[in-house]
Chains A and B, each alone.
Chain A
Amino acid sequence: MKDDAFSKLHPAVNLLFFIGAIAFGVLLQHPVYLLAGIFASGVYYFFLNGRKGMKNILLMIPLFIFITLFNPIVNTRGVTVLFTYLDRPYTLEALIYGVAVAATFVLMILWFGCYGKVLTGDKFTCLFGNLAPSLSLLLVMVFRMIPNLLQKAKQIIGVRSSIGKGTAGKSSIKDKLGSGMTVIGVLTSWALEGSITTSDSMRSRGYGTSKRTSFMVYRMTKIDWILSFIMLLLLGVVIFFAANGGMNAEFLPERNITPINGFNVIGFIAYLGYLMIPTILNVKEVIQWNISESKI
């Protein structure tokens, strides 16, 4: 999706959000918190990827089941033995723990998927431009070259086939490998020769004459500061409750899951609130648009 409200924020705010979401996603094994994580990441993932995203989310179900069922095989602890095989017990507790492990895995995939859509290469390099100028420049140059090389590769493949040296009609691995190598070879020569011009162009524009600065196309605005503050505050609340055992969950050898009641509800609300920030921003934007449109 092109107009994700959260992506428009400063990259530092984006990064902070994902660090928090992923770190607590793996730390908190409490079923309710895992459910919250899967819900929030799933909704945002769907928003970012549309129908294709839905397909990917559904594809995770078999993975989820596999990890769940696999866990009791490597993990034989637990008191309730469901059955034994090859003299090994298969326990209920391990199975339930498997659900938690699978849930963590799925929410990691989803959060990383969102992260990839939001923190694009240019945002990332912008973020680390001052900290690691050479490395981020290297990365920027790689991002520049990739589409260039891809286009060139297509061109070479076309040209090779139009002098009768293509792979069409040839199916053996040897032929495919041979022609693939030739394409990579041409690509390499071409890119290396081009790199001389690129480095001339860099030096001609003063590369290496002074300490590099980094042009920030993104600026921290008021909303960025406010949101960072809110996020840190919510994370603080979550850490406070987590440290006091409000989010504990143990599965092995016996189930021992802290109920969410009393004060602990605050911790849960803070966590869910934090994870829903991107979605809330998007919903807010849609509503605002509708209001301003209805005024017209």
Chain B
Amino acid sequence: MKKSNVAMLIVFLALIPLTLFLGDKLPGKGYYITGVLIIIELSVPFFMAFERRKPQARELVVLAVMIALAVIGRVAIPIPHFKAAFAIIMLTGIAFGPEAGFIVGATTAFASNFFYGQGAYMPWQMMAYGAGGMLAGFIFIKNKIPKKPWIMAIFGFLAVVFWIGPLLDTSHIFIMMPEISFATITASLASGFPVNVSQGICTALMMLVFGKPLLEKLDRVKQKYGMFAN
């Protein structure tokens, strides 16, 4: 990351305590607004880093392809509740690094909302999906961990159950629950757990079957057209 980007990150992180302080004074379910603002403050530095980098045409197109695939993945697989999005997002992170993973994740959530209908949980989706892509990018950076299908499958399962899923479930606390307390947090996380496990299994399956071919396809495009070669 560039120095200026780090500076930006610090500025935005400093805004968070301020938001928390002011948000505490809001009446009613003001914590929903606080939550949204904090998510925005967390993501804006990454988005701005992407903007400043002035991405190449080829990079933009490939990211757009991955996002579009993640959005419509569930149409292609004729199994109800089977989400292909997590695996596709994480594979993008694995192939192109944490930043691309975050952008693809967050934008997938954002675009899905235009496609399947808007909901109040959209900021949480953006955060969770983006964080998932970013984590995948960090874990598999510089080929330290081999990109074998079964390793990616285990990673995919764990990431969905213990990272993306819980991040998504926090939205329930802000939207459906009457207050933020230990009871509501545990209730939200516990109620989401079975769904997360089933999505984790789906993701692991996707990684096993689809992981290697997708990485090969991305490699082919990378090599054939010299993409992301900087």
Is there contact, CB below 8 Å, between A177 and B218? no
The A188-244 residues at the B interface (CB cut-off 8 A) are 188-189, 191-193, 195-196, 198-199, 202-203, 207-208, 242
Q: Which of B9-17, B107-115, B135-143 contacts A (4 or more CB under 8 A)?
A: B107-115
Listed by A's residue number, 19 A-B pairs whose Cβ atoms lie within 8 Å are A22-B120, A23-B33, A26-B33, A67-B176, A71-B178, A74-B177, A74-B178, A74-B183, A74-B184, A120-B114, A133-B51, A138-B60, A138-B64, A146-B72, A176-B79, A177-B77, A180-B79, A195-B64, A199-B56
A282 in the interface (beta carbon within 8 A): no
Size category, A interface: 35 or more
Residues of B with C-beta under 8 A to A104: 28-29
A159 in the interface (beta carbon within 8 A): no
B18 in the interface (beta carbon within 8 A): no
Is there contact, CB below 8 Å, between B76 and A184? yes
Report which of B47, B178, B213 forms a contact with A101, defined as CB distance below 8 A.
B178
Is there contact, CB below 8 Å, between B217 and A188? yes
* A189 to B78 CA separation, bound complex (whole angstroms): 20
Report which of B33, B77, B117 forms a contact with A180, defined as CB distance below 8 A.
B77
The closest CB in chain B to the CB of A63 belongs to: B176
* A22 to B122 CA separation, bound complex (whole angstroms): 14
Is there contact, CB below 8 Å, between B118 and A207? no
Is there contact, CB below 8 Å, between A191 and B65? yes
Interface residues of A (CB under 8 A from B): 22-23, 26-29, 67, 71, 74-75, 97-98, 101, 104-105, 108-109, 112-113, 115-116, 120-121, 124, 132-135, 137-139, 141-146, 148-150, 153, 157, 167, 173, 176-181, 183-185, 187-189, 191-193, 195-196, 198-199, 202-203, 207-208, 242, 248
Report which of A26, A138, A192 forms a contact with B217, defined as CB distance below 8 A.
A192
Is there contact, CB below 8 Å, between B54 and A135? no
Residues of B with C-beta under 8 A to A116: 113-114, 117-118
Residues of B with C-beta under 8 A to A75: 178-179, 183
Residues of B with C-beta under 8 A to A153: 72, 75-76
* A115 to B120 CA separation, bound complex (whole angstroms): 10
Residues of B with C-beta under 8 A to A135: 47, 50-51, 103, 107
How far does the Cβ of A243 sit from chain B's closest Cβ, in whole Å? Answer: 10
How far does the Cβ of B177 sit from chain A's closest Cβ, in whole Å? Answer: 7
Report which of B50, B61, B77, B113 forms a contact with A195, defined as CB distance below 8 A.
B61
Report which of A74, A132, A133, A139 forms a contact with B111, defined as CB distance below 8 A.
A139
Residues of B with C-beta under 8 A to A112: 118-120, 122
* A242 to B29 CA separation, bound complex (whole angstroms): 14
How far does the Cβ of B230 sit from chain A's closest Cβ, in whole Å? Answer: 14
B58 in the interface (beta carbon within 8 A): yes
